[in-house]
């Protein structure tokens, strides 16, 4: 599926086919007009702390695989909370990939959240000011912020040990995590279409 | 039976932290501990890697202050290869570093520390957050803060690559010259930053200094410790974030020592406590006497309060004036009031902005050759900078091919660790009496902690490089009774 999408920018000749595939309105608005819907794909974590880097590894691979997509910007960050705010400015949508360690799901499970699922009340968090607080600030200040945010968390084995590389079970789950991203991008495109 | 109150995690703190408070039979505080449950082991990780990779690896230690690690590491490589970068390279580095200091200090004042003072120490918990700050200072101010940080981060990207992964520091200089058009952007950004810093000091003046209760809290004994102070100074003993000698002043504000970064091991040693992973640095020549203050105890502090105490002032005009007002208001130097860190941080914000302005306007800054190629055989290198949270040491020993044999990092929060521990303990003892504990009091205990802007992401470096989670329970004599270890 991603093979089709990555040709959006590179291959003009495919556009008639893609127009049928994604719908004239979306593409007309997205690629030929000024109303392009920009998506931020953000990987969070630290790739020096083994599994904590799962989100980073996934977006690094996607950076190659989605090369040429003009409406998706791919970023990675080891920061958290309010320090991330600037990254989201001027995007219409955002997908966040992160390693999670809930101990309630088998390692390799992919968990999905929307901001509505997270507590919008400011709560004590190890990251002192998490996504809900950031969204609350953006809304209060009427910043140009993504209207839709999707969070995919990959349950990991060990986000504490120093070292490079992922646990095997986490490594094996990366393609599925990437697929979630592709599907979400598709879904958004189809919604507009 | 002693009771135990745990504030975990500390709200709005960078990284993970924990405070344990033990009450005695009367309900008074027996002892309060701050804990660092994070264990990282980056020093071991560094061994066997080329030293030249360190400016890229060390910023990844922690997402909070990547530029400070990048810069300390780059300066350690200058020393490792015994290469003196051209003036232009030093200026580019310091200018970019100043931009980083501004955005980091702004983040702390408005978003992390701001809720304590801007909203108020005794305000309900639900209001002591960023939204509360915005409610107090106004939405336009909020937009201004975010706009300023965005502009600075974009400038950093122009000169240094990504903010979280800077790539411009190389032994002997920087990776690329600054373009004329980028210099103009830096000039414009610096002008905006000076205005922003002056405005922020005005906010502090209006909201904090005009409120007698807040000022009373700042100068209260609960938040006061008489310790030694450390900071980098230039040749005129003025504060410098990027280079210089390390100056220590005693609790009376008198110079105790001044030394080149490469001599730090003659002056600083580290003490280990059974209840914490963090190693507590102290002044070797005074010695470790426990968690006590005064001239006989080797405990010292770093970060904004300490930097202003350790120097003879600031080198730029507006910041100098603000600094004079600070010492005048708080009773002269040195200032021992922990909460004054917030004010000192804003004065540094103004200094960093003015320094950025000076450097951006310097004709040297667009020199097309901002690097001296290193030719010497590496052996040992030490780099020290002032991170936003205090003095940061990077020390590498290598073989003659430049492969790391040993690395030692002393990070800012670690330098402050002993004083932070004392601050938490003293605040807890001063505020919690006869078992009376409420949300406001607990916040006031945490305020002692937050003033330092501590970050524990990279505060511990011990082996084995795994971060176990350990719960320790102490009785009212401080004896560990139970240990629960998560393997």
pLDDT tens, residue by residue, B288-327: 999 999 999 999 999 999 999 999 999 999 999 999 999 9
User: Does B142 touch chain A if contact means CB atoms closer than 8 Å?
Assistant: yes
For the cut 90, the answer to whether the pLDDT of residue B95 exceeds it is: yes
User: Does A87 touch chain B if contact means CB atoms closer than 8 Å?
Assistant: no
C-alpha closest to that of B420 among B431, B410, B412: B412
pLDDT average, residue stretch B357-368? 97
Please judge whether A122 and B126 are an interchain contact, meaning their C-beta atoms are less than 8 angstroms apart.
Answer: yes
Lowest mean pLDDT among B15-19, B115-119, B194-198, B263-267: B15-19
Q: What percent of chain B has pLDDT over 90?
A: 64
Residue B9: list chain A partners with CB under 8 A. Answer: 124-126
Of the pLDDT bands very low, low, confident and very high (cuts 50, 70, 90), residue B22 is confident
Range of the domain at B356: 42-417
pLDDT average, residue stretch A47-55? 86
C-alpha closest to that of A129 among B11, B273, B354: B11
Tell me which of A137, A159, A165 to substitute to probe the interface with B (most B C-beta atoms closer than 10 Å): A137
Render pLDDT for A92-129 as a digit per residue (tens, 0 to 9).
999 999 888 777 789 999 988 887 776 543 333 333 34
Q: Does B30 share its domain with B74? A: no
Compute the Cα dihedral for B154, B158, B159, B162 and give only its sign.
positive
Please judge whether B63 and A125 are an interchain contact, meaning their C-beta atoms are less than 8 angstroms apart.
Answer: no
Render pLDDT for A151-174 as a digit per residue (tens, 0 to 9).
898 988 877 677 888 999 999 999
The reply to whether B178 falls in a domain is: yes
| CB < 8 Å from B in window 26-45 of A | none
Between CA B65 and CA B319 the distance in angstroms is: 23
Interface confidence, given as ipTM, is 0.77
Residue B111: list chain A partners with CB under 8 A. Answer: 82, 129
Q: Does B17 share its domain with B82? A: no
CATH homologous superfamily of A38-192? HybD-like (3.40.50.1450)
Confidence (pLDDT) at B13: 33
Q: Does B78 share its domain with B27? A: no
User: Does A79 touch chain B if contact means CB atoms closer than 8 Å?
Assistant: yes
Interacting residues of A190 by C-beta distance below 8 A, sequence separation 6+:
A22, A23
Please judge whether B130 and A129 are an interchain contact, meaning their C-beta atoms are less than 8 angstroms apart.
Answer: yes
Three-state SS string across A5-59, please?
Answer: HHHHHHCHHHHHHHHHHHCHHHHHHHHHCCCCCCEEEEEECCCCEHHHHHHHHHH
The reply to whether B381 falls in a domain is: yes
Please judge whether A48 and B57 are an interchain contact, meaning their C-beta atoms are less than 8 angstroms apart.
Answer: yes
User: Does A120 touch chain B if contact means CB atoms closer than 8 Å?
Assistant: no
pLDDT average, residue stretch B116-139? 83
Lowest mean pLDDT among A120-124, A188-192, B25-29, B207-211: A120-124
For the cut 80, the answer to whether the pLDDT of residue A2 exceeds it is: no
The reply to whether B15 falls in a domain is: yes
Q: How many folded domains does chain B comprise?
A: 2
B441, B119 in Cβ contact below 8 A? no
* Residue ending a domain, choose from B356, B384, B417: B417
The reply to whether B422 falls in a domain is: no
Confidence (pLDDT) at B163: 77
- Which comes out higher in pLDDT, residue B4 or B227? B227
Tell me which of A47, A75, A86 to substitute to probe the interface with B (most B C-beta atoms closer than 10 Å): A86
The structural domains of chain A, with segments of one domain joined by +, span: 38-192
B61, B64, B465: residue with CB nearest A161: B465
B288-292 LR contacts (CB < 8 Å, sep 24+): B291/B418, B291/B421, B291/B422, B291/B425, B292/B422
Confidence (pLDDT) at B63: 64
pLDDT average, residue stretch A41-62? 90
The reply to whether B431 falls in a domain is: no
């Amino acid at each position: 599926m991603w093979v089709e999408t990555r040709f959006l920018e590179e291959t003009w000749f495919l556009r008639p086919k893609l127009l049928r595939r994604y719908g004239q309105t979306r593409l007309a608005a997205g690629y030929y007009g000024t109303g392009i819907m920009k998506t931020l794909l953000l990987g969070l974590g630290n790739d020096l702390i083994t599994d904590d880097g799962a989100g980073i590894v996934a977006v690094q691979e996607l950076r190659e695989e989605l090369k040429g997509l003009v409406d998706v910007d791919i970023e990675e960050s080891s920061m958290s909370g309010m320090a991330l705010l600037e990254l989201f400015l001027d995007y219409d949508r955002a997908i966040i990939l992160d390693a999670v360690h809930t101990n309630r799901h088998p390692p390799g499970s992919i968990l999905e959240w929307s901001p509505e699922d997270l507590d919008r009340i400011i709560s004590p968090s190890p990251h002192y000011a998490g996504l809900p607080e950031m969204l609350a600030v953006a809304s209060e200040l009427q910043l140009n912020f993504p209207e839709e945010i999707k969070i995919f968390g990959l349950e990991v084995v060990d986000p504490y040990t120093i070292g490079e590389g992922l646990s095997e079970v986490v490594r094996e789950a990366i393609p599925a995590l990437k697929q979630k991203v592709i599907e979400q991008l598709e879904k958004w495109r189809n919604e507009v279409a | 039976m002693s009771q135990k109150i745990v504030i975990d995690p500390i709200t709005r703190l960078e990284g993970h932290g924990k405070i344990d408070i033990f009450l005695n039979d009367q309900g008074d505080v027996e002892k309060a501990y701050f804990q660092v449950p994070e264990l990282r082991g980056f020093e071991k990780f560094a061994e066997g890697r080329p030293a030249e990779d360190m400016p890229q690896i060390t910023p990844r230690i922690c997402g909070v202050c990547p530029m400070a690690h990048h810069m300390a590491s780059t300066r350690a490589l200058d020393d490792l290869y015994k290469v003196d970068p051209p003036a232009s390279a030093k200026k580019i580095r310091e200018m970019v570093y100043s931009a980083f200091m501004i955005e980091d200090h702004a983040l702390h004042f408005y978003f992390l520390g701001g809720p304590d003072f801007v909203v108020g120490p005794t305000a309900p918990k639900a209001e002591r957050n960023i939204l509360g700050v915005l409610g107090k200072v106004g939405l336009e101010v909020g937009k201004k803060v975010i706009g300023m940080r965005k502009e600075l981060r974009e400038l950093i990207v122009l000169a240094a690559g990504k903010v979280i992964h800077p790539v411009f520091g190389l032994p002997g200089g920087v990776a690329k010259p600054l373009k004329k058009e980028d210099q103009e952007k830096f000039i414009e950004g610096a002008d905006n930053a000076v205005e922003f810093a002056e405005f922020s000091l005005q906010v502090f003046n209006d909201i904090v200094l005009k409120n007698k209760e807040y000022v009373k809290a700042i100068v209260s004994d609960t938040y006061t410790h008489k310790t030694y102070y450390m900071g980098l100074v230039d040749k005129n003993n003025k504060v410098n974030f990027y280079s210089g000698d390390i100056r220590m002043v005693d609790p009376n504000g008198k110079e105790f020592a001044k030394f080149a970064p490469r001599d730090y091991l003659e002056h600083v040693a580290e003490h280990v406590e059974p209840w914490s992973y963090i190693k507590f640095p102290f002044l070797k020549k005074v010695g470790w006497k426990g968690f006590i203050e005064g001239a006989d105890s080797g405990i010292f502090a770093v970060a904004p309060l300490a930097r202003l105490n350790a120097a003879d002032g600031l080198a730029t005009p507006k910041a100098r004036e603000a600094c004079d007002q600070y010492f005048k208001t708080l009773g002269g130097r040195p200032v021992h009031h922990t909460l004054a860190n917030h004010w000192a941080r804003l004065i540094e914000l103004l200094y960093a902005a003015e320094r950025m302005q000076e450097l951006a306007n310097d004709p040297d800054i667009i020199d097309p050759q901002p690097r001296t190629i290193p030719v010497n055989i590496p052996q040992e290198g030490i780099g020290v900078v002032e991170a936003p949270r205090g003095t940061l040491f990077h020390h590498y020993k290598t073989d003659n091919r430049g492969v790391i044999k040993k690395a030692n990092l002393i990070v800012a929060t670690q330098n402050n660790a002993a004083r932070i521990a004392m601050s938490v303990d003293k605040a807890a003892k001063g505020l919690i009496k006869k078992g009376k504990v409420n949300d406001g009091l607990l916040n006031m205990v945490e305020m002692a902690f937050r003033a330092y802007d501590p970050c524990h992401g990279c505060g511990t470096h011990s082996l084995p490089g795994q971060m176990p989670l350990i719960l320790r329970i102490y009785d009212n004599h401080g004896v560990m009774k139970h240990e629960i270890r998560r393997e």
